[in-house]
Structure 1
Amino acid sequence: MASMTHDGPEITGGVDTHGLTHHAAVIDPVGRHLPDREFAATIRGYRDLLGWMPSYGTLIAVGVHRRLRRRARAGPGRSRRCGCSGLHAAVRSRPTPRR
């Protein structure tokens, strides 16, 4: 599996997708939570997110959580962007709870 190279520890990223924004976080090899941040759900936001994560180490994988909505397209786009960057992207989908 390819990774984004950077000096420092191996890190894993996680992304929770929403309609207009994505919330991203990184963890270190022993599971400690490193910083998290919100990004716009746009092409520029994806690029910023993928530039931000490796600033904490070597990014080896990204997990993407997406909620299934009638028009939800952010999760698939996000996972495609990770795939295009040579990263392993694991996508988890689940329906949005009814209120």
Structure 2
Amino acid sequence: MTSEVADDTADQDVFGGVDSHADTIHVAVISDNGGHLADAEFRTTTAGYAAALAVLNAHGLVIAIGVEGTASYGAGFTRAARSAGLQVVEVNRPDRSERRRIGKSDRIDAYAAARAALSDGPPVPPRTTPSPAYAPCTTPPAPPSKPAPQP
């Protein structure tokens, strides 16, 4: 990649996707409108994770990374990405009908994970109080029950 390309893409928002395996991870990068930017395969080592993160960061501001198997094969990459301050979201592998339609490969799965991260978007913080619009819909508390008669 030339520095001219890096200068052109440095300000854009990007999303990543990772298809993880025991020995390798395949990383894909897409733009915020879903356009394919890059993909590459790396070893599941500390150096491999660092190189994968460098590829992601070289294409713009990483908003989120979708990872298949954050608690299994993707756990090492997930730890590395989170320690670098990046948001990681768990994504499901593509369903069988999609796999039959578009095929199965590490590259395809990595791009699918990136699209899942894009479509999920940033997490919405949970509400701490209900909206006032819903106040009239609440059910009033039930009256206290009568004590059971004594025999």
Q: Confirm or deny a common fold (TM above 0.5).
A: yes
Query: Which residue of structure 2 aligns with residue 90 of structure 1?
Result: 89
Higher helix fraction: Structure 1 or Structure 2? 2
Alignment length (residue pairs): 85
After superposing the two structures, state which structure 1 stretch, 52-61 or 16-25, moved more: 52-61
Structure 1: tracts of 5 or more residues without a match: 1-5, 95-99
Do 1:79 and 1:91's aligned partners in 2 also have CA atoms closer than 8 Å? no
Gaps of 5+ in 2: 1-8, 94-151
Query: Which residue of structure 1 aligns with residue 68 of structure 2?
Result: 65
Q: Secondary structure at the match of 2:33?
A: coil
TM-score normalised by length of structure 1: 0.76
Q: For the Cα contact (< 8 Å) 2:16–2:64, is it kept in 1?
A: yes
Amino acid at match of 1:85: A
Deviation at 1:19, TM superposition (A): 1.1
Q: Deviations over 1:12-63 (max 9, x none)?
A: 0110001111000001010111111001111100000001111111111111
Q: Identity across aligned pairs (percent)?
A: 38
CA contact (8 A) 1:12 1:59 kept: yes
Which structure is higher in strand share?
A: 1
Partner residue of 2:45?
42
Is 1:11–2:31 an aligned residue pair?
no
Between 1 and 2, higher relative CO (CA 8 Å, sep ≥ 6) is seen in 1
Give the Å deviation of 1:79: 1.1
Larger radius of gyration: 2
